[in-house]
Structure 1
Amino acid sequence: MRGRPGEGGGLSMAGGGGERLPGMLRTVAALVLLAQLAGRGAHALYFHIGETEKRCFIEEIPDETMVIGNYRTQLWDKQSESFLPSTPGLGMHVEVKDPDGKVVLSRQYGSEGRFTFTSHTPGEHQICLHSNSTRMALFAGGKLRVHLDIQVGEHTNNYPEIAAKDKLTELQLRARQLLDQVEQIQKEQNYQRYREERFRMTSESTNQRVLWWSIAQTIILILTGIWQMRHLKSFFEAKKLV
């Protein structure tokens, strides 16, 4: 794309007219992509659970990725008809399993806490929370509200703290953020390739099974036809029809 004389006055300000436009577009597109991905990897929500209820969430996580979860609990107060901060005696048990079903984290926390783990296997990780069983009388028959905030990848970094510790300028801090985002994007791409490979293997295995099943069906039909022909021949011979 090259601008002709008298056209694209804005392009001339880049120095060299439209000749630098493709490079600029690539840079802008990359920044837009990073900006869109910057909002990913952080999930905040709240949910209600009963006395013996367990609530689980599935999070697709690439390998070697840090995950931080922050939560706080509130108890339903019948007098005020609202949720109030939980008592210290009420705690939450957090359990995390990797795609292979292995327990990555299993720990008892208080009514408010923070859990951290690092994935070593890419795929769906199961994060389960349930209240402790020793103080159920504290909210017997009531509801417990749990506020949960899960951060994945570069969203787990505390950049103001990093900037203060390493004495980074605003530009250096932004460059650090972009590098972390690029690294996370690479992990996401590797995970997508891993998923594609597993899907391809599953498809090939399914196709092979379908092929062998079709062959088996054909053989069964042929054998059934041969048996029917022999049976009919024996029947006709017994009746002296042939």
Structure 2
Amino acid sequence: VIVVNGGLVVHPNTCAQVPMNGRKTLLLLLLAWIHPGDGLYFHIGETEKKCFIEEIPDETMVIGKYRTQLWDKQTSSFLPSTPGLGMHVEIKDPDTKIILSRQYGSDGRFTFTSHTPGEHQICLHSNSTKMALFAGGKLRVHLDIQVGEHTNNYPEIAAKDKLTELQLRVRQLLDQVEQIQKEQNYQRYREERFRMTSESTNQRVLWWSIAQTLILIVTGIWQMKHLKSFFEAKKLV
């Protein structure tokens, strides 16, 4: 289980999310020893793709930063940099529409803004087939994903707008409140979808039960008529 700044909790090998209740518990436990600004790293092989799922409210900015390290068989260690090696980033919204698909270098930064609330899929894979050096080897990718108000560079904002320390703090609080409101709206959206799904499931179960009852009644009537005809043919009645 890996925690990324902004609330991402995923297993990189399965591209599966931890359930909501378990995710909150794990987040509280892990935040005790993981700094909220830390990212993660994972290993990928040749032509392998890694995907992560992030639940994002609508109209929320997401910034991802990554850097790659190539495995050196001679020194049995990862090289500090991998010039010439590229990384392809593809992002899909909850409707599986591609909102970003671009080739970057060995180190890169990608940004996008969500327009639909829900699970966004972030996938990365290297152009390893173009590099004989990487063929058959493995690559370490360091990834940091920041969501919402975590994407703001407050020192830069303070310098640009000439804000005092108090004004900057107020700006941070306002951004945090705005992000909390977006999260609350997203939770309401999820609850509404869950309620609609539950109602739809209950209706289907009800109609299926009615259909089963009708089938049993029709089958029983048919069997009674069939038995009556059989007994009449045998002159038993």
The interval holding the TM-score normalised by the smaller chain is: 0.7 to 0.9
- Give the structure 2 partner of residue 234 of structure 1: 229
- Give the structure 1 partner of residue 57 of structure 2: 62
Q: CA deviation at 1:170?
A: 1.0
Residue 56 of structure 1 contacts residue 129 of structure 1 at CA under 8 Å; is this kept in 2? yes
1:148 aligns with 2:148: no
- 1:166 counterpart letter in structure 2: D
1:90 aligns with 2:85: yes
Q: 1:195 to 1:40 in 2, by over 3 A?
A: farther
- Give the structure 2 partner of residue 223 of structure 1: 218
Residue 41 of structure 1 contacts residue 153 of structure 1 at CA under 8 Å; is this kept in 2? no
Q: Which digits, 9 at most, give the CA deviation of each residue in 1:121-161, with x for residues without a partner?
A: 00000000000155231211111000000000000000000
Unaligned runs of 5+ in 1: 1-35
Count of residues in correspondence between the two structures: 205
- Give the structure 1 partner of residue 28 of structure 2: none
1:194 aligns with 2:189: yes
Residue 96 of structure 1 contacts residue 127 of structure 1 at CA under 8 Å; is this kept in 2? yes
Distance 2:172 2:212 in 1: 59
Residue 91 of structure 1 contacts residue 110 of structure 1 at CA under 8 Å; is this kept in 2? yes
Which residue among 93, 99, 108 is the counterpart of 1:104?
99
Q: CA RMSD in A?
A: 1.7
Larger Rg: 1
- Give the structure 2 partner of residue 121 of structure 1: 116
Q: 1:40 to 1:230 in 2, by over 3 A?
A: farther
Q: CA deviation at 1:86?
A: 3.5
Q: Which digits, 9 at most, give the CA deviation of each residue in 1:59-101, with x for residues without a partner?
A: 0000000000000000011122111133321010000000001
Distance 1:127 1:184 in 2: 21
- Give the structure 2 partner of residue 172 of structure 1: 167
Distance 1:104 1:41 in 2: 27
- Give the structure 2 partner of residue 206 of structure 1: 201
The answer to which structure has the higher helix fraction is 1
Distance 1:189 1:164 in 2: 31
- Give the structure 1 partner of residue 17 of structure 2: none
- Which structure 2 residues correspond to residues 4-23 of structure 1 after superposition, within 5 A? none
Residue 43 of structure 1 contacts residue 151 of structure 1 at CA under 8 Å; is this kept in 2? no
Distance 1:149 1:208 in 2: 44
Unaligned runs of 5+ in 2: 1-30
- Which structure 2 residues correspond to residues 23-102 of structure 1 after superposition, within 5 A? 44-102=39-97
Aligned-pair identity in percent equals 90
- 1:114 counterpart letter in structure 2: R
Distance 1:183 1:40 in 2: 23
The TM-score normalised by the length of structure 1 is: 0.82
Distance 1:136 1:52 in 2: 11
Q: 1:43 to 1:232 in 2, by over 3 A?
A: farther
Distance 1:106 1:208 in 2: 40
Residue 73 of structure 1 contacts residue 147 of structure 1 at CA under 8 Å; is this kept in 2? yes
Residue 49 of structure 1 contacts residue 55 of structure 1 at CA under 8 Å; is this kept in 2? yes
